Amino acid sequence: MTRTLIVVGHGMVGHRLVETLRDRDTAGAWRIVVLGEEPRPAYDRVALSSYLDGKSAEDLSLTSHELLDDPLVELRLGTAVTGVDRTARTVSTSDGDVLGYDALVLATGSRPFVPPVPGHDLDGCFVYRTIEDLDAIRAAAAEGAPGVVIGGGLLGLEAANALRLLGMRAHVVEMAPRLMPLQVDEGGGQVLGRLVGDLGLTVHCGAATKAIEGDGRVRGVALADGTVIDTELVVFSAGVRPRDELAEVAGLERAERGGILVDEFCRTSDENIWAIGECAAVQGRCYGLVAPGYSMAEGVAEQLLEQGGGAFPGADLSTKLKLLGVDVASFGDAHGQTEGALEVVYANNAAGTYAKLVLSDDARVLLGGVLVGDASAYSVLRPLVDRELPAPPEQLLLPAGSGVDAGALPADATVCSCNNVSKQDITTAIGEQGLTDVPGIKACTKAGTSCGSCVPMLKNLLGECGVATSKALCEHFPQSRSELFEIVRATGIGSFSELIGRHGSGRGCDICKPAVASILASLGHGHILDGEQAGLQDTNDRFLANMQRNGTYSVVPRVPGGEITPDKLIVLGEVAKEFGLYTKITGGQRIDLFGARVEQLPLIWRRLVDAGFESGHAYGKALRTVKSCVGNDWCRYGVQDSVSMAIRLELRYRGLRAPHKIKAGVSGCARECAEARGKDFGVIATDKGWNLYVGGNGGFTPRHAELLAADLDDERLIRLIDRFLMFYVRTADRLQRTSAWLESLDGGLEHLREVVVEDSLGIAEELEAAMQRHVDNYSDEWAGVLADPAKLARFVSFVNAPEAPDPTIRFVHERGQIRPGPVALPMPAVATQEVSR
């Protein structure tokens, strides 16, 4: 018999309970009703700040279509619980319903704490908790104006960074003598304060807020020492308080310092009611991190399914984050509160790094630590907490990562604390499931899918298991594609035979030949059908057209930005009619002409080239299109000229050979009609310029592009795209799309931003120069064939009968056009509706 579970709250923890229960409840024992007070389903509140850094609410969503369509899950949004009748086992809702339950779980989370200072309710005061809060902050923010964040903890610095992203001059007011007082010690706080100050934030530590001043709207923040900070916006981020009001409504016990009191099984004083997440006080203590909440949710799921266990195992309060580009991490007993604890500190003020280990009194067991400025050692150090050190403390504190690797971790060490995944869980999955990459580990174990701090360790564990992917391009080249690129660039080698003779072995294969052909083309070594290069190409590149399933080819001329004149439209129609081609408008704002035989291709190209068209490179691993909306010329919502920018970009990057195809888009406003965030690079107009997004794609695994830089003028935008594309062309693996490349980069988007925007490697000028060489040396590949009789000779169906068409090609008529028909057999039987060309 199916029982009913009501879950009050659809935040991250409530969602994890629903997700876990449905995964494990194979018999369908529970029907779940979720009552969510917010107007949207669960989203990643840990990554909330990324909403102001380019991510959409959809990007942050945790709720899958499978769950929404699950007949055993009912999700009711915008619905608050107003009453609980424990005797009748019912809850009353804000929309007037009374719902019965067999089990009730309270996952109501917490609310921001707003200090009761005078003026805290003035217009211009905000909290930092929900997507709606961030929408309100964005609407109120004014570029160049001051903004004040009350609270210098984790969320306070995130809020300050949000104001910074919105163009405001941010101040942080913290009552404690240092920033992030719960996570870092005095030494770490000093380094953090200096690094944050260098980034443009004004920090006021040891400062109490006396009042918010204003005349109906915020005008200033008065501190206890008499200082007044002029401001037009205040964000309160001074901590949270558990949402425990339903405990009073239901007559449940509350903890002395707030929170719904629960035992080690997260059960309240009513055996049919549980509480999990930030609203729950486990044996009197509330936890403000998502990882303990996930553990509670999974434990309650075990109890509901009577699987045994389910006790809360305690909380790992370790944190690792990047605030304003600054690494900060703390783990274990970060403040050395254990009796007899010893501290080992490494500080490099010049480099802006600070590291501290807290050890047992015999200096053998790691108790905790703090890392600021460089947290690369975190993935190894955190799992070693409460374990004997595998190396001397000074070796563990070496800059740029510890002196030990994944092999030093015991099998039962927790690698992913967010999802409680041990080293053994991961290595077992690698072995049993044949996993070969980090995305596979994420999908199989959930490790690395929350905060992401354990991802470097996942890579190390792949290596420990002996399944690290070889960098060799193939059996003929021990080098990776990026290494071969640098070899060709540095040596000037201009042919495959010379490259394999000097740096490889054998005769090559269908992996290395096209890859080297792409490298040679990227570096401007002549037409792709010149001499030896012609034999290296894939089928499509060999004939500069896309082969279709019946052996014919499609022709796609370039239409920059989707803009085309009536005269050119007429030419396309005339060509299609003359050669009997099937015509279709593509998703990239071009016209595709299908059904051309190989010997017809040069004839079609001649008509198109004479009319001013050129190759659209639909056949190549190259830039395909730059899609655009109509922009501010025609659209009443447009704020920039997206058409002109799309044309400029497409003409600049046309013909650029790359590891994979490249698609782009330019949208004239945030309505995103060009779908720019689904492209390898996308540009979206703002009233201040352009936002640049990178690493998106559609296809089998869709991925939204991420914001690389904001509010750029035209020239800065183009310089950053130049750098991005050339860095990708140089360093990506064979057939690696920009989305996969970005995910594979150590440091991900942040590293890419450092290289492309901040020029951390000092190669920006070189990348720009390389792109300019491409622009200067571009020539149309179709026109190059038409001008060369030797190349033209390749375009025949039969070498011994150049004029003869392929007799196996057949078409049938449908909807006024042709489509591929059945392959012709040797017998002369042709149906009347077929046409042979």
Residue 822 burial (CB count, 10 A): 11
Dist. CA 473–CA 490, nearest whole Å: 19
pLDDT (mean) for 36-62: 87
Which amino acids are annotated as binding site, given as ranges? 629, 635, 669, 673
Q: At residue 353, what are phi and psi to the nearest 5 degrees?
A: -125, 150
- Taking only the tens place, the pLDDT of each residue in 286-340 is 988 888 999 999 999 999 998 877 888 887 777 777 666 678 888 888 888 888 9
Q: Is 317 helix (H, G, I), strand (E, B) or coil?
A: coil
Dist. CA 169–CA 402, nearest whole Å: 37
Which amino acids are annotated as binding site for [4Fe-4S] cluster, given as ranges? 629, 635, 669, 673
pLDDT (mean) for 34-62: 87
Q: At residue 422, what are phi and psi to the nearest 5 degrees?
A: -90, 170
Which amino acids are annotated as binding site for siroheme, given as ranges? 673
Dist. CA 695–CA 704, nearest whole Å: 7
Dist. CA 759–CA 106, nearest whole Å: 49
Is the pLDDT confidence value at 788 over 50?
yes
The percentage of the chain sitting over the pLDDT mark of 70, rounded to a whole number, equals 94
pLDDT at 826: 43
pLDDT (mean) for 121-146: 93
Task: Name the band, by pLDDT with cuts 50, 70 and 90, for residue 475.
Answer: confident
Dist. CA 556–CA 564, nearest whole Å: 14
What are the angstrom distances between the C-alpha of 648 and each of 372, 677, 696? 43, 19, 21
Dist. CA 469–CA 484, nearest whole Å: 17
Q: Is 605 helix (H, G, I), strand (E, B) or coil?
A: helix
Q: CA Rg, the chain, in Å?
A: 31
List, edge to edge, every strand of the sheet that includes 228-230: 209-214, 218-223, 228-230
Q: How many residues does the chain have?
A: 837
Dist. CA 830–CA 807, nearest whole Å: 12
Tokens of residue 507, six digits: 């005769």
Is the pLDDT confidence value at 830 over 70?
no
Dist. CA 357–CA 402, nearest whole Å: 12
pLDDT at 382: 84
Do 44 and 60 meet the contact criterion of CB atoms below 8 Å apart?
Answer: yes
The most distant pair of C-alpha atoms in the chain lies apart, rounded to whole Å, by 100
Range picked from 59-63, 351-355, 725-729, 737-741 for highest mean pLDDT: 725-729
Our separate counts of H helices and E strands in the chain read 27, 41
Q: Quick one: CA dihedral 150, 156, 162, 168, positive or negative?
A: positive
- Indicate the pTM of the whole model: 0.61
Q: Which amino acid is at 301?
A: A
Task: Name the band, by pLDDT with cuts 50, 70 and 90, for residue 379.
Answer: confident
Is the pLDDT confidence value at 501 over 60?
yes
Dist. CA 448–CA 441, nearest whole Å: 8
Q: Is 444 helix (H, G, I), strand (E, B) or coil?
A: helix
- Mean pLDDT over all residues of the chain? 88
Q: Quick one: CA dihedral 222, 223, 227, 230, positive or negative?
A: negative
Dist. CA 214–CA 122, nearest whole Å: 7
The percentage of the chain sitting over the pLDDT mark of 90, rounded to a whole number, equals 58
- Taking only the tens place, the pLDDT of each residue in 428-461 is 988 888 888 777 888 888 887 776 667 777 877 8
End-to-end CA distance of the chain: 67
